[in-house]
Structure 1
């Protein structure tokens, strides 16, 4: 009997060693690839329901973040609520714009626009043509061929009217820039501070005369017969910079993770540009889940038309870092600071280091 027991024991021991070896090999493989769920680094993102930042869902579904070893934990919230979560240390990233960053830093909070998602040129003054017999900017421009005079005549028609907008986002600074350029005074307009979501009902009910908002709200009232009086493409430096903000301290403590995030975002935006037919349905579906109806056709009409998306490092270097680029970062951030100082939103000379507000510059250097 013993002659059979010894070979059996040796065989069993060999099997145990083989299984253990396979387990270690599999574990090592997971560590090398970094693609297993339990090996991913978690980043919490406060995300607002807008079609531009919802582009992030394409990157998640296509696995671009997982490829970089990242799992995004998304918390749905409105724009202001997301900024509150970031400032309060509840999330690592939040949807934000240049105006948010300037305001927060003026109050001593070290936020920075680290991850560019879109450059917003979609703000327009929407009005009811059946209520007001106003001429549009395009009509005035056709008559006199002078852009500054056309802007002055257009905006002068609305003096004394109620202009609904969110004063904490870029539409406010865009409106003020138009008035300044045209030589008009913001005190001649009744600016009503409202959330983006409340603007269309207010305009439709007649409680405000003009609405300046994000693109979903603009498209919603346009479907009801409202028209654009003027939009911000008439003044290029009003085009705002938007994306995901982070705390500088967190970025500096997580340099490798920070650059991987930027790589995943650039991959996502490049994929959308190259594959809109595959990407837009993903955005539309996720927008529906939060109660916002937008069609693939509407996305096509605004993508790189009213909003422009950085599809990679070359785009960023040519259009954002380059002083001659369409979205030169320093011109825009300085304009926001100047307007907020002039309007009494922030103290004079409170913002001293513009580059600290736009951390993408450092991340791009690290990637290269």
Structure 2
């Protein structure tokens, strides 16, 4: 495979200003006149990346909900390709990430696990193309060929000899490779420029490459700069599943903290279902202040429960991710992760789900503590 490696000269991690533990609500006071000491909060550090979905914990922080479940949370903003190294180093206790990240490191760091998912990225991924590149969108090809499957094949095959900007070693790079493999092509048929999402977008908009795949904010920025969607969602590959990743050691010592974090994430989703514009204002305000995403509140509202899905309680998470007929059945994505990373020699062997995908067992414990059908916030 031909790869051009470019390193962005930006800081990989930043503790979010105004979003550290001090912005959370105070610890609950002692109950009544019993004279009990105030509840001691468990301190946890959580890695999040600057995207509209992985920044959702900010809302729980602003509302003071983490303190209500006994947590003193520090949110640390990390570049997407820095999340797993930071988790392995112990600089964060948990992170919002996906299965691909766990599979990519578990051979070297077997204690890293995918604990629980709530956010299937069903239609969010999009391969952006230049309108003057000679590449055609799947919709244009379908209009010509009269068949969606044939149009998908043609849309991918036209990438032969082209340059694609994306982030390898993540779900983004995996989707490119999966798409190529699905029509009998390999990475050797294209040139991949491997960059972090924001740096990659800047390079693409400046003229590097014929196509680009990043996150939703980068997708929107590319669209606003005149680029077009070539392929998206299931037309690319099995969707990534965002959730919480951590280590077995952390779970053994802090199971209640993990369950409490999941509880707040479900609560955030329920709140945003009813208050989508407010959530959009919070997320886009922070996101646009820290990145060049340019995501609007209107865009956030349009995307919410549309191009990606969010589970508001345990039963919804089960229906989306754990059930075999779910919209984003975990095993299809896990198997795809293994196939991609082994075929590209990124990992020496497949990672067994039995040891590193813990969602079912964590789901059982969560339901026992919080229930399966939470509906209020």
TM-score bracket, normalised by the shorter chain, equals 0.7 to 0.9
Name the residue aligned to 1:273: 273
Matches within 5 A, 1:349-360: 350-351=350-351, 353-360=352-359
Partner of residue 71, structure 2? 70
Q: Distance in 1 between matches of 2:117 and 2:232?
A: 22
Give unmatched runs, 5+ long, in structure 1: 1-22
Alpha-carbon distance in 2 for matches of 1:159, 1:286: 38
In structure 2, the residue matched to 1:221 is 222
Structure 2 matches for 1:268-307, cutoff 5 A? 268-292=268-292, 293-307=294-308
1:125 aligns with 127
Do 1:137 and 1:150's aligned partners in 2 also have CA atoms closer than 8 Å? yes
SS in 2 for 1:142: helix
**TM-score, normalising length from structure 2?**
0.83
State the alpha-carbon separation in 2 of the partners of residues 153 and 291 from structure 1.
34
1:305-329 deviation digits (Å, cap 9, x = unpaired):
2222121111111111110000111
Q: Which runs of 5+ in 2 are unaligned?
A: 1-29, 368-377
Q: Which moved more, 1:106-115 or 1:334-343?
A: 106-115
Note the alpha carbon deviations across 1:204-242, whole angstroms, 9 max, x for none.
Answer: 22221111111111111110111011113325x520012
Q: Is the 8 A contact 1:111 1:246 kept in 2?
A: yes
1:196-345 alignment runs, 5 A limit: 196-235=197-236, 238-292=238-292, 293-345=294-346
Structure of larger gyration radius: 1
Q: CA deviation at 1:44?
A: 0.6
User: d(CA) in 1 for partners of 2:144 and 2:340?
Assistant: 30
Over 3 Å counting, the alpha-carbon distance change for 1:134 and 1:339 in structure 2 is: same
Bigger fraction of residues in helix: 1
Matches within 5 A, 1:38-77: 39-77=40-78
1:164-183 pair list within 5 angstroms = 164-183=165-184
- 3-state DSSP of counterpart to 1:53: coil
For residues 155 and 318 of structure 2, what CA distance do their matches in structure 1 show?
A: 35
Q: Residues of 2 paired with 1:206 and 1:287: CA distance?
A: 25
**Between 110-119 and 318-327, the greater mean CA deviation after superposition:** 110-119
Q: Could you tell me how far 1:189 is from its partner in structure 2?
A: 0.6
* Distance in structure 2 (CA, Å) of the matches to 1:149 and 1:186: 21
Q: Provide the C-alpha distance between the structure 1 equivalents of 2:247 and 2:144, rounded to a whole number of angstroms.
A: 49
Q: CA deviation at 1:48?
A: 1.6
Bigger shift: residues 44-53 or 325-334: 44-53
Tell me by how many angstroms 1:199 deviates.
Answer: 1.3
1:71-220 map, 5 Å: 71-120=72-121, 121-129=123-131, 131-220=132-221
In 1, are the aligned partners of 2:81 and 2:167 still within 8 Å (CA)?
A: no
Q: 1:97 Cα deviation (Å)?
A: 2.0
Q: Provide the TM-score with structure 1 as the length reference.
A: 0.85
Alpha-carbon deviation of 1:91? 1.4
> 1:27 and 1:291, CA in 2 relative to 1: closer, same or farther beyond 3 A?
farther
Instruction: Report the more deviating stretch, 142-151 or 185-194.
Output: 142-151
